[in-house]
Structure 1
Amino acid sequence: MNFRNFAIGLTASFGLAWLAVVVVPFFTMRDLAPVAFQEGIDAQTGIYHPKTAGRVVNGYEVYAENGCYLCHTQVARPTYAGNDLGRPDFAGLSADPDRGDTRRESNPFDYLGLDFAPIGVTRSGPDLMNYGRRLLRDHPADAESYLYRRLYNPRLDPAVAAWSNCPGLPFLFEKKEIKGQRSDRAVDAEVKAGYEIVPGPKAKALASYLMSLQHDDAVPASMNYAPATTNPEG
């Protein structure tokens, strides 16, 4: 094989992969066509509009700049690619007290408007696609305070202290002198008497973002799975 053929083959190998992985998905997904609910099949009618929350954009940026996506995924894989629908509450809640089984696969609309889709690199930690939903279920009275403790130092949570290797983010918090009443957002951590640890602006933004992760809204049947048939563990 001469150099010319080698160069052509090498270029073709990488070029085809680049087209398939980057170019085609970009042009396919940059302008998503609206999907309609089907009368007689879906419980509602009209066009599917995914939930959005503009306030959490800053938190999404804090999530990205601190590399949270390196250890946490945000994707409920379709059944043919994994068994996320069978994992406890990864894809939604199997027994939501108000709506019943809310589990569903991820779809492109879940990442609409984001600079990059935080699907993650590895799943060293739990998937966060529906972390906000799980958080509000498990800690209905103190979800925000619990989350600040986890962000400051995961080892403050006795439920995971023995095994979690998640790094804390103490640099997102501030040590302030207590003047009057102690802040209801203060973290229960060892600190000099008369002072407290409170979340800074980036910690608040990140907490808002994590609490907003509730991708279990109803989607058209054409985008959904059938719990009774697709997920035998449901």
Structure 2
Amino acid sequence: MTFKAFIIGLLATFGIPWLLLVVVPYSTMRSLEPVKYEKNSELSGAFVPKRDGRIREGSKIFGQEGCALCHTQVIRPTYAGNDVHRAEWAGLRKSSSVDEDTRRETIAQDFEQEEVAHLGQTRVGPDLSNFGRRLEHYLKVNKSSRNPEQWTFMHLYNPKGVPRYEVPEIGAQIITSWKSTCPPKGGLFRQVQVNGAGHGNLPLKIEEGVGIKPTDRARALVSYLVSLKKDTLGNPLPEALNFNPKAPKSKE
């Protein structure tokens, strides 16, 4: 290797990351303006759903169970990735069964009311920003007899045992649990003696007189997961929450 090639390689090694991590984000975000709100009421001009009770507890369990190691809750800006266009991650796209396209990028207010923002570390599994929204939609489209809570309980107990669901409108295979890499969460369930119908048990046959019942931790976690509908604020965002406004016109 010549000295010239070494210098060029060195500049490329440090120059390209600098451009991508410093220059591009700065040039994109330099026109952002502060969000106005009323100091006394802390209202920002848009409704943000409250997240308390069992959902708040489920968020803690989500972190304790290590779910954020394999799942993100961040829809990246379009200049950083194609998350907005990936399998309904960012919300629901307009179709014959959906009147309005709610897909958008993640903003800071999406994590309001949460003690911890579960951004995630890797994407071994799909992004969960709008898990509750898309699961609800997919079960409806496929005319499933299960509700979102039941489906999620079954998935946590045996990720490979839940049938996949497809959305014919877009020809996409969205939920493919039969080849899921998610580890079973058997510790969130307990075996109970069943007398009669076994109210609250999972629809699984273990052995005669034995059923599988979710624990309180499982119920809290599922409540949190099915509540993940971060497209609630809509698209386009309310003006008070628009963190990516158009650059102001220069004064002549």
Distance 2:204 2:117 in 1: 34
Which residue in 2 is equivalent to 1:114? 114
Query: Residue 47 in 1 paired to residue 37 in 2?
Result: no
Give the ranges of 4+ consecutive aligned residues of structure 1 lying more than 6 Å apart after TM superposition: none
* Farther off after superposition, 171-180 or 197-206: 171-180
Q: Please give the residue correspondences for 1:79-228 in structure 2 after superposition, counting only pairs within 5 Å.
A: 79-95=78-94, 97=97, 99-140=99-140, 141-142=145-146, 143-159=148-164, 160-183=176-199, 185-217=200-232, 218=234, 219-221=237-239, 223=242
* Farther off after superposition, 186-195 or 115-124: 186-195
Query: Where does the alignment leave 5 or more consecutive residues of structure 2 unmatched?
Result: 1-33, 39-43, 165-175, 246-252
Distance 2:81 2:122 in 1: 14
User: How far off is 1:178 after superposition?
Assistant: 0.9
Which residue in 2 is equivalent to 1:5? none
The alignment partner of 2:219 has SS state of: helix
Q: RMSD of aligned C-alpha atoms? A: 2.5
Distance 2:111 2:151 in 1: 26
Query: Where does the alignment leave 5 or more consecutive residues of structure 1 unmatched?
Result: 1-31, 37-45, 227-234
User: How far off is 1:35 after superposition?
Assistant: 5.8
| Preserved contact between residue 85 and residue 104 of structure 1 (Cα < 8 Å) | yes
Distance 1:205 1:65 in 2: 12
The alignment partner of 1:174 has SS state of: strand
| Preserved contact between residue 104 and residue 224 of structure 1 (Cα < 8 Å) | no
Deviations 1:187-223 (A, max 9, x none): 2334221010011101100110000000112222562
Structure 1 counterpart of 2:189, one-letter code: F
Deviations 1:1-59 (A, max 9, x none): xxxxxxxxxxxxxxxxxxxxxxxxxxxxxxx95569xxxxxxxxx80122223130011
Distance 1:148 1:82 in 2: 31
* Farther off after superposition, 59-68 or 215-224: 215-224
Structure 2 CA distance for partners of 1:35 and 1:75, relative to 1, 3 Å: farther
Structure 2 CA distance for partners of 1:205 and 1:136, relative to 1, 3 Å: same
| Preserved contact between residue 70 and residue 120 of structure 1 (Cα < 8 Å) | yes
| Preserved contact between residue 192 and residue 210 of structure 2 (Cα < 8 Å) | yes
The alignment partner of 2:192 has SS state of: strand
| Preserved contact between residue 155 and residue 177 of structure 2 (Cα < 8 Å) | no
Structure 2 CA distance for partners of 1:93 and 1:225, relative to 1, 3 Å: farther
Structure 2 counterpart of 1:115, one-letter code: E
| Preserved contact between residue 73 and residue 122 of structure 1 (Cα < 8 Å) | yes
Distance 1:88 1:158 in 2: 18
Which residue in 1 is equivalent to 2:12? none
TM-score between the two structures when normalised by the length of structure 1: 0.72
